Chain A
Amino acid sequence: MLEIRNLHAAIDGNEILKGLDLTIKKGEVHAIMGPNGSGKSTLAKVLAGHPDYEVTAGEVLYEGRNLLDMAPDERAREGVFMAFQYPIEIPGVSNAQFLRLAYNEKQKHFGRDELDPLEFKDLLKERAKVVEMDASFMTRSVNEGFSGGEKKRNEILQMAVLEPKLAVLDETDSGLDIDALRVVAGGVNQLQGPENAIIVVTHYQRLLNYIVPDFVHVLANGRIVREGGKELALELEEKGYDWIVKADLQGSGAAAPAN
């Protein structure tokens, strides 16, 4: 589904990603872990097409197409969804209005029927159950005055409505208490299936107790320096990141996996 080859990306001229390789197949859940500043969030933003980041080398193939050639909204309509670490507030625009527009854009894109407000309301009601969200959130402005937990739930609700093929969760666990974490993770799990894939970007192992990854990749200094199964996350929880980062520096990249 997704193939990243030798990806280099920079912001304001500073290179953050320095040759990243990653392959993701349908049905898989991948966790990207790493210390602060390792480039985790950069990867998520580059996949979504954030304009501040410049891809300086490498390629990203999404379902065989060059993802980097696609505008951010086109990527979204084609099924790439990013749950933002800091969801944006949009005053005066109601959640329902916003979601219906996004939903119908996608419907239009695939030549399917658009939903009128009433039909959409039913859909929204059903999907809102996934994240245990109250109906009153639908009439409120997008993320305005939402608590941290409500914002994150709203992200997952959007994911439930837009049904992405590839979901990238950027530090979705940050700032969540354990109950909210359970709800958010539960929502993500319900949306996971054999036809789609999820990338969970996180600093802590905590979230991975709820969303169990098939693969764990450790990112340091702009590259993936170690890969393993879910047990790697537990090992990181116990030993921290230092030993991997150090091993990487000593082995000057020898720790990078043979693919």
Chain B
Amino acid sequence: MINMNESILINLALVILFLPVIGFIVALFLAKKVKKIFLFENFVIILAFICSVALLYLKLTYFQSKDIVSEFQWIDFGNVPLFGKLSVELGILLDNISVIMLFAVALISMLVHLFSIEYMSGDKRYNRYFAYLGIFTFSMNGIVLTHNFLMMYIFWELVGLSSYLLIGFWYEKKSASDAAKKAFIVNRIGDIGMFSGILMLFTTYHTFTSDKIFYQISQGALPFNSEFWLTVTGLLLFCGAIGKSAQFPLHVWLPDAMEGPTPVSALIHAATMVAAGVFFITRIFTMLTGDALFVIAVIGALSAFIPATIALTQNDIKKVLAYSTISQLGYMILALGVGAYTFAFFHLITHAFFKACLFLGSGSVIHNMHHEQDITKMGGLRKKMPVTYTTFLISSLAISGVPLTSGFLSKDGILAGTYAFGYATGHWLFAAAGFFVAMLTAFYMFRLIILTFHGQPKDQHKFEHAHESKFVMAMPLVVLAVLSIFIFYTPNPFNPEQGWFLSKWIKAPQISVPENARYSFMKPDAAQKTEPDVNKSETAKQEIVYSETYTEALHHAHIPAMLLSLLMAASGILLSFLFYQWKKFDPDKLAERVKPLYKLSYNKWYFDEIYDAVFVAGTVGLSKSLAWFDNTIIDGIVNFTADFTRIFSKLSGKFDNIVVDGLVNFMAYLSGFIGLIFRKFQTGKVQTYVVLVIFSLVILLFLFKTF
């Protein structure tokens, strides 16, 4: 019975994985022939969603603490010389994290599909758009389900491809095709690191399967037998996440990616694909050393802080949301870096829902404002679009961390994690950055809401024509906004730890890195160490054994962190109301007062300019100098060789013509001359020959006259 159930789960997962790709193929090849083929793609996605609900239910009901793995041998290279036994397995891993993630992807993908039916109506490549969404969903499911690094990398690149296709969907626009290229190239930089990391793991452990790798690490096998290289490998893998999750310093592609259709931004660039980086780090969390985690925490804190400051001054509704996405992803990375594994994944899921809602809400606004994206030209939309306003408000409350929302729970957990980390190690800067960013988040989100929905309309003409979205666009908003409420994750709106999500579903994996390479608080205390854990089965994941001080700190951190984050959120919201709603202060005057800071933020910290000046110009300069080298030196050598050869061959030709040919001609002439003489004998007259024969016979007779 149990085995049968397992195979049902595996089959369900495979169905969910491959349904979208069927939709993709059908929709792509019939895009021009069948007008309504997008309905098939939508049908397929809805089917996949239903399957994912079933999978989630079955997994969490029957196999809550068991990981289901199904794999098969893909290639067997046998015994490779100088390397040893080599085979590549493909397979899927169903644990609680992957089924929850799969559910989130399927749900958001389905809602975005439905939303797009109305949002994209009238587009000339309508069917192809849905086909692209299909291939994206397929690849994202692949990332979530895979149990090895090889497939992870393949699907990683596939989501990169679908992201590229969808950012550049309106490729007639120069900015869109540029943004697509930028996203692709910037991602590639991160992927180089990830690929080298995977290869390092592969050369060390001779397998791509992550469980086997982690097991070997826990047995003490390390790359090059050193913890330093384990750190390096972890950081190389993290590079992939930096690129995909748009972390500092590769975050520059995400704001530009907003050139794509807004539902795409919601699905790919807010909820799922950019979260793949975080998801990947949760997968490899067990093999990250303390040093690697510290670097990850630094990157996460920077990525949370810098984009939050940029988002304060942006006027494009989608750009603000894009920067807030980077900032929230930075939170998750920060949470992983400080060891708050469960909260990072929790935030990943809650963020996926409320950020998708925010993006779809902005899509709804943009659609009904006739593609106006500048928030300074909006205003007063609250009455015209009540559903969009309400859902947008709920999601904004969630992202700002206001109680009763999901965002409050997850963000509070992360902040508590940083707080406890500061307590355990003395690095308080992470906590400071986290709390400060929480205030900034609340501020810019409410600035966005107030400028868009409150106050007086700035563009009367567009305002007149604005109206509430149709059902297919409003329904996803409502679903996502409802999922941003605490009740789905925990019954207690102030402490998520007793809720089913964190206490039962998500468990941090056991750390497999050597003890002296961990954070001090991740080392088991002496008392716990003596406790034998032999009886536990290999697949059952154990929690991180935190030191007691850290566990205690986490408990103590909960209340102050919650109060502090509440204070931050409240002050952020209050400030934005003071500035934009009640106009007690003039934001322009403040901007004038701190002009350098304002300009820094408005110009996105000049990242694009710096990259242009350093990397783009550097590359161009390098290519130019290389081209000069090529043109003058290499070509010079080649040309010299050519000239030399030409002169040499001319001389050689002369020699040939005069000496060799002369010799040959002389021989010919000589033979001709001899022939001329001997021709005389050849008269053709028989009698002459007879005379000659007799004559010569006589001579011969005289010559040999021995008698």
Bind each other: no
Footprint of A on B, CB under 8 Å?
A: none
